[in-house]
Amino acid sequence: MSRCYTQITLADRRRLHHLVAAKVPIDQMARQLGRHRSTIYREIKRNPFRDRELPDYDGYYSTVADDISKERRRRLRKLRRHPNLRTEIINQLEARWRLPDACCRRG
């Protein structure tokens, strides 16, 4: 397994879909995909297909999982969507870094 993190690709999700369908243990899935087992477990848990009307079709599907993860990443980019919020946060962080050491000491 690599120490450098990379996003799970659609090709990885397709392989994972086949492994889930074959009921391969998560440790083996992780080894075959070159990922940590917690990454595989999290992927399966966070990105399943669920349908109240057709519960027989619930499960992990690669293309659905890819769409869900892309939508989640798009939604979470709050500081890009709200430039005023981003500026305010940066200003407050910079102001805290400029505080003199004396005001931060306890004693």
Task: Let me know if residue 106 belongs to a domain.
Answer: no
The mean pLDDT value for 8-17 works out to 94
Q: Which of 39-48, 61-70, 83-92, 94-103 has the lowest mean pLDDT?
A: 94-103
- Residue 25's pLDDT is 96
Task: Let me know if residue 37 belongs to a domain.
Answer: yes
Q: What is the pLDDT of residues 26-72, one digit of tens each?
A: 999 999 999 999 999 999 998 888 888 888 888 898 999 999 998 88
71 residue type, one letter: E
Task: Let me know if residue 3 belongs to a domain.
Answer: no
Helix (H, G, I), strand (E, B) or coil at 99: coil
Task: Let me know if residue 2 belongs to a domain.
Answer: no
Q: Give yes or no for a contact between 55 and 73, defined as CB atoms under 8 angstroms apart.
A: no
Task: Let me know if residue 17 belongs to a domain.
Answer: yes
Task: Let me know if residue 1 belongs to a domain.
Answer: no
Q: What's the rounded Cα separation, in Å, for the pair 61 and 88? A: 40
- Residue 30's pLDDT is 95
Task: Let me know if residue 5 belongs to a domain.
Answer: no
Overall domain count for the chain: 1
Structural domain including 81 reads 10-100
